[in-house]
Amino acid sequence: MFTVDLLTAAAGAGAAPQTKFGFWEAMEQGGAIAWSTLAILAIMLFGSLFILFTKYLEQGKILKQYEGVKANFWRAPSMKDGVAKLEKDSAWRQIVEDGLAAEEQHGKMVTETDAHDWLYGSLARSEASINSYLAKGLPWLATTGATAPFVGLFGTVVGIYRALINIGIAGSASIDKVAGPVGEALIMTAIGLLVAVPAVLAYNYLQARNKRIAELLSGFSTDVLAYINSKGAVKPAVTAAPAAKPAAAAPAAKA
């Protein structure tokens, strides 16, 4: 029994220590450069996700408000009455208020100015301010999609360089010398792509929705301009309001 224990202890003492390989081990071997690169990519990723969700909600709100414009605004007897039916801080309400303000300002001008040009310019500025607000954050997505692969590539280059240094020091390309640096390099490449692809997809998706909103704003602005210049004679055709469903008759009481 004593002899078996000695043999077991000797075998355990002579066995080579096992090297652990994994994400955290590779990052620890990479040191400050690997962690800094990972931190930059993480900031890019979370920033892109934040912009995606916030802009999606903003766009959805504007598109939903447009349904209220079609349903209620043009049914009002006057444009001032219609403004009261629009939500506060609404893009559609901003255009109408800017148009009414431009009409009032034109009447106060001393020199003769074409009303159409003045109103058109005022509404165009209002549209531009709304489109500019909707475009905020999109440059971050475009920059992330374009640069994230290169940030990951930087980590990849550093990892390969460290693997070559280890091979040169050891004099052989043993797996325990190169697995950590090569694993770090592959991880950085994967994370760079993981950050870049969603950013590009989010940018294209939000940009397409912004174009749709810009088209709706341009059409609405044109209708407002025609309404003001014609003193209410020209406005979009409004379909009849849906009739309310009759209330269900109460069941007759049994005798």
pLDDT in tens, the chain (255 residues): 444 454 444 444 444 445 555 566 666 666 777 788 888 999 999 999 999 999 999 999 999 999 888 878 888 888 888 888 888 888 999 999 998 888 888 777 656 567 778 888 889 999 999 999 999 999 999 999 999 999 888 887 877 777 777 667 766 656 655 666 666 777 888 888 999 999 999 999 999 999 999 999 999 999 998 888 888 788 787 655 555 555 555 555 454
pLDDT at residue 220, as a whole number: 92
Contacting residues for 160 by C-beta, under 8 A, at least 6 apart = 181, 182, 185
Q: What is the pLDDT of residue 229?
A: 85
Predicted local confidence at residue 17, as pLDDT: 46
Measured CA distances, 218 to 86, 179, 181 (Å) = 18, 58, 55
The per-residue pLDDT for range 6-57, each reduced to its tens digit, is: 444 444 444 444 555 556 666 666 677 778 888 899 999 999 999 999 999 9
| Residue 46 confidence (pLDDT) | 95
Burial (CB < 10 A; 0-12, 13-18, 19+), residue 37, is buried
Report which of 127, 76, 119 is spatially closest to residue 101, judged by C-alpha positions: 119
Task: Tell me what pLDDT residue 69 has.
Answer: 85
Give residues with Cβ within 8 angstroms of 161, minimum separation 6: 181
Per-residue model confidence (pLDDT) at position 83: 86
Sequence-ordered alpha helix ranges (H) in the chain: 2-14, 23-72, 79-83, 91-108, 115-134, 138-170, 175-229
So what's the pLDDT on residue 125?
Answer: 93
DSSP 8-state class, residue 230:
T
CB 186 within 8 A of CB 24: no
**CA distances in angstroms from 31 to 50, 57, 157, 162, 189, listed in the order given:** 29, 39, 14, 11, 17
For position 248, what pLDDT does the model report?
A: 54
Tell me what pLDDT residue 178 has. 63
Tens of pLDDT, residues 183-195: 677 788 888 899 9
Residues with Cβ < 8 Å from 17, sequence gap 6 or more?
A: none
Contact between 95 and 126 (Cβ < 8 Å): yes
What pLDDT, on a 0 to 100 scale, did the predictor assign at position 32?
A: 79
Pairwise CA distance, residues 218 & 124, whole Å: 8
Contact 185, 155 (CB under 8 A): yes
